[in-house]
Structure 1
């Protein structure tokens, strides 16, 4: 299950403010995104993230602190049933546990259940679901000490999906995002994402991430082009917001104002409205 719209928007705003508006440098993204490095599709041995592991128990423990006691008790009962279950029963119980975590947007905890399901039934769909939940986990989990371990789990899940179907664009996109986000091979991730948009020029997720990575590396015109592509497919508040920020950094104030206004209109979120109103006031002076 995806994050609820309001939560997703707020997370996007926080990420943007921290990473883009405060101009944090991203190592390895200094090359133009069109440069071909000839990268392979799998993690390399010198990738430091590959040595980092994360314990399911620690992630689940933190996640239980973020939900109500009644739901935590329900999950703990299912976990006890799981420990005593037969092999045939375990998948059904893991599915029930995963759904309960999904219902409260605890993707990191849910990911471990989906991973167990994928190991028992290694289908493309199951590995993609596991990869997506681990991705949501490393992007949003409260305990940042688990970030690299969750990211490594996402990489593993997407690689498993690619082993089943080497042409799957969802797996390549997830893998590309993971490489750029937290490994020592950011250009490998860029090449994966560029490969996705070559095959599917309107791919929303790949273009969205290429746009954000272009922003991080100061390539704001490239970012504008990416976000316009996303908006043509799915005009989300966050895509309009990032487009506004890209225009702002290019000095195109009137275009930035229009994009910010559109983001505010679609989101209808008080926090975003307050921020956008301040931005528009600054740009109008």
Structure 2
């Protein structure tokens, strides 16, 4: 997986600063080029007096976009490109920009309204997570308030299948490039009070999941340190709580096997992981 050209969408709000802080950290550690973009809506057209109003509105939108990029420049400095893009939808505008600029990944912050340290999927993320041709990386709310000095580890949420196996290969390459250890975790969700037949089934599932994890890790240890871990709980969130999480953790999820090729597409489990995670999450685009 190439990680040499990052694109982040910025607005002068806390979520914009969260995404920017994560993008700067990733770009610095991966040695990637960073582009900071603000997406502004198109100005309406018109004739006569309406045309004058449209021109004033267009000037206002341009002024707001310039102010947003000026704030981003104050936070980052000159080690980035700063661009304005016009589109009706902020997420779709970032998808368009990612294609035009050959971005390796798109980084954004969480939508407002959620708990500190958690990710909320708003309209921008929703548009990206159904159309982006490159990985989408989401920063939790409040990430810019106390970002880690560096990433410590990459963790892949693994469940045996073509997309998950491809995700491990891509994550192992990225871990090698960034000189980071890699962890593969499988989440096993069990009921609160399982009966005997369910206990027998859980024991078999544990054995199979452990075997799958070891098989997935095999062959990648020559590239980087790889560990495996089975996390169990009564829900996806509960299973995640039983894991050990480093301050500079990045969770990687594969797109759904049912999603379109070369697009990001979240499955049910990935959505639950995104909502329960307390660290940034990267969703990979589905590859052939």
Could you say whether these structures have the same fold, taking a TM-score greater than 0.5 normalized by the shorter chain as the test? Answer: no
Q: TM-score, normalised by structure 1?
A: 0.27
More relative contact order in 1 or in 2 (CA 8 Å, sep 6+)? 2
Q: TM-score, normalised by structure 2?
A: 0.27
Query: Which one has the bigger helix percentage?
Result: 1
